[in-house]
C-alpha cells in the first residue's frame, strides 16, 4: 500500500471558495495583555482535502467509493 499525502497549506493566500470571502486569520488574544496566544480562523465550511476527491471529477452522480 502506498500512502499519499494529499494535505495542502492553508493560509491567508489560499483562495476562498467561489462566492465566499477568502480565508481570514488573526490573533484573537495577545500574549502581552492576556498571557495567551490564540489565533482565530474564518473560512467557508467547504475547505480541506477530500478523501473522495476523485468523486468530484466523475460523470456518475453516485460514484464508486470502492474503486478509490
In a domain, 44, yes or no: yes
Residue 9 lies in a domain: yes
> Is this model's pTM higher than 0.85 or not?
no
**Residue 19 domain-assigned?**
yes
pLDDT greater at residue 16 or residue 24: 24
Q: What is the pLDDT of residue 21?
A: 78
Q: Is 47 left (phi over 0), alpha (psi -120 to 50) or beta?
A: beta
Grid cell listed for 26:
488573526
Residue 67 within a domain: no
Domain range enclosing 3: 1-61
Q: Are 23 and 12 in contact (CB under 8 A)?
A: yes
pLDDT band (50, 70, 90) for residue 10: confident
68: in domain: no
Mean of all residue pLDDT scores within the chain: 74
As for how many domains the chain has, the answer is 1
- Mean pLDDT, residues 23-44 taken together: 78
Amino acid at each position: 500500500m502506498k500512502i499519499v499525502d494529499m494535505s495542502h497549506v492553508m493560509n491567508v493566500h489560499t483562495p476562498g471558495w467561489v462566492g465566499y470571502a477568502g480565508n481570514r486569520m488573526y490573533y484573537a488574544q495577545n500574549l502581552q495583555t492576556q498571557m495567551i496566544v490564540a489565533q482565530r480562523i474564518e473560512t467557508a465550511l467547504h475547505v480541506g482535502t477530500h478523501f473522495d476527491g476523485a468523486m468530484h471529477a466523475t460523470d456518475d452522480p453516485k460514484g464508486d467509493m470502492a474503486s478509490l
